[in-house]
Structures are given as C-alpha cells and as structure tokens.
Amino acid sequence: MKNCIRERRETLGWSQTELADRLDVSRQTIHAIETGKYDPSLPLAFKLARLFGAAIETLFDDRPN
Amino acid sequence: MDGVQELGIRARIGDWHSTGAVLMNHLREFFTFSAKEWRYYKLSVPPMLVFIAVMTASALTVKHFRDDWSFAVLAVVALLPVLPIGWFFKVYLDFFQACDEWERLIEVYGICIGVLLVGMVYLALGLLGLMKLVELDGTLIAYFMLPAVSFAYVLGKVIGRWRHG
C-alpha cells in the first residue's frame, strides 16, 4: 500500500527514530512502513493519523497505480 | 521505489560504486540490532553460560558416578542442562512480548522458517535412515535439533527482514 508517511514526517522535521519514539515502535518498523514493505495494523494506522492530525485515507492509498 | 528496486536499477545502469553503497546500507540494516534487541541478547548470555557450565558438570558427574548411582539420579543429573534452556526461553518470550507488530512479524517469520526447514531436513534424514541408505546416530541428531532450529530461525529472520524490512 502506498503512503505519504515519509513526506509528513519530513514536513514536521522528525527523524525516523523520533517518529518511532512517539508511536512506541522501533525505527525499523517506521522504515518498513515508509518503504511500503509493511502495512501497519489498524490501531497503529489510527495512531499515525492522530499524530499527523490527518484522516487515515489521506495517509494511505490502497488503490493500484 | 523501494531499496531493492533501487539496487536493481543502479546495478543495471552500471553505477557500481553507488550499488555497493546501497548494498552495504541494506546489509547494515539487516545486521543492525535495536537497543531492545541488544538488551535481550545481553540477557540471554547468562543462561547460555550457565548451560555450558551445567552441561560440563553434568557430563563429568554422570561419567564419574555411572556405576555408583541409580538410573533415576543419573537421569536427573543428565537432564539438568535443560533448566538453563528454560531460562533462555523465558528471556526470548519476554523479548517477543516486548516486540512491536513489525518486529513480531519478523520473529514469526524466523520461527516458521526455523521449524519448517529443520522439520524438512529431519524428515529427509529420517527417510534416508528408514530406507537404510545412511546410518544415523539418533542421539546426536536429537541433541542438535535445538541448535539447528536456532540457526534456521536466524536465517528466517534475515529473509523476513529482506522481504518486509
């Protein structure tokens, strides 16, 4: 699934480690989500959405290219 | 574009220097342990050291008192090294409990590949033994089962990180 987590994070000037700390996950988890190799669970997706102050569907896009 | 695609494109256009850099980056990512992993690796050292000590003491005791002690006592002494392995399992389960969702996916990957790979190798050995094609030492095979699973588990984790990391 495509997502704009990296762009949102970089807009806020956070490193992967900072974002990981705020979400209580590992840096590798953030890296895996940003590269689209791992789709987060619904609770983690909600945490991300809450943190960025955005709706889940604006962060993740499940439509094919 | 993910890292693997990037690696492929760079390799195709002959950009060998940066291909090496990207490859090194991936390898570093594979073998970089988080603070949590390091903490639990350190916690797993004492049970392994105790295992080695108890194993040595147990083997020497059984060898020395084989003719003097009853079978039951000798069996208890021989099985003592299992206790530190139980301690090691407790450390691993605590680590698993502390993992986040992606880390658990990688752990499950490692466990699955570890169990399936070793199961397949043991089945293959069993078939060869059953058909009297090779002579197998069952005791030795049973003894090396856990180390074999552990080795295959690490291999599985590397594959998991490659696919999902």
CA-to-CA dists, residue B111 to B2, B84, B150, angstroms: 26, 20, 9
E strands of chain B, at which residues? none
What H or E segment, with its residue span, contains residue A1?
Answer: none
Name the residue of chain A whose CA is nearest to B164's CA.
Answer: A37
Of B2, B34, B103, the CB nearest to A35: B2
Distance CA B142, CA B114 (A): 16
| Residue in B closest to A32 by C-alpha | B165
Is B165 in contact with A37 (Cβ distance < 8 A)? yes
Torsion (CA) B59, B64, B70, B73 in degrees, nearest 10: -40
ipTM above 0.85, yes or no: yes
- In this prediction the pTM is 0.78
Query: Cα(A22)–Cα(A40) distance, rounded to whole angstroms?
Result: 15
Cβ distance A38 to B36 less than 8 Å, yes or no, reads no
Q: What is the pLDDT of residue A23?
A: 95
Chain A residue nearest residue B100, CA to CA? A25
- Chains A and B: how many Cβ contacts under 8 Å? 40
The CA dihedral of B29, B32, B37, B42, to the nearest 10 degrees, is 160
CA B7 to chain centroid, in Å, comes to 29
Shortest Cα distance, chain A CAs vs residue B108, angstroms: 14
Chain B nearest C-alpha distance from A50 (Å): 18
Q: Locate tokens 């994070």: which residue?
A: A9
Q: Which amino acid is at B122?
A: Y
User: Do A27 and B34 make contact, defined as CB atoms within 8 angstroms?
Assistant: yes
pLDDT tens for chain B, 165 residues: list them. Answer: 555 555 555 555 556 666 666 666 656 666 667 777 888 889 999 999 999 999 999 999 999 999 999 999 999 999 999 999 999 999 999 999 999 999 999 999 999 999 999 999 999 999 999 999 999 999 999 999 999 999 999 999 999 988 887
Q: Which helix (H) or strand (E) holds B136?
A: none
Note the pLDDT of residue B72. Answer: 96
Phi, psi torsion values for A33, nearest 5 degrees = -70, -45
DSSP B103: H
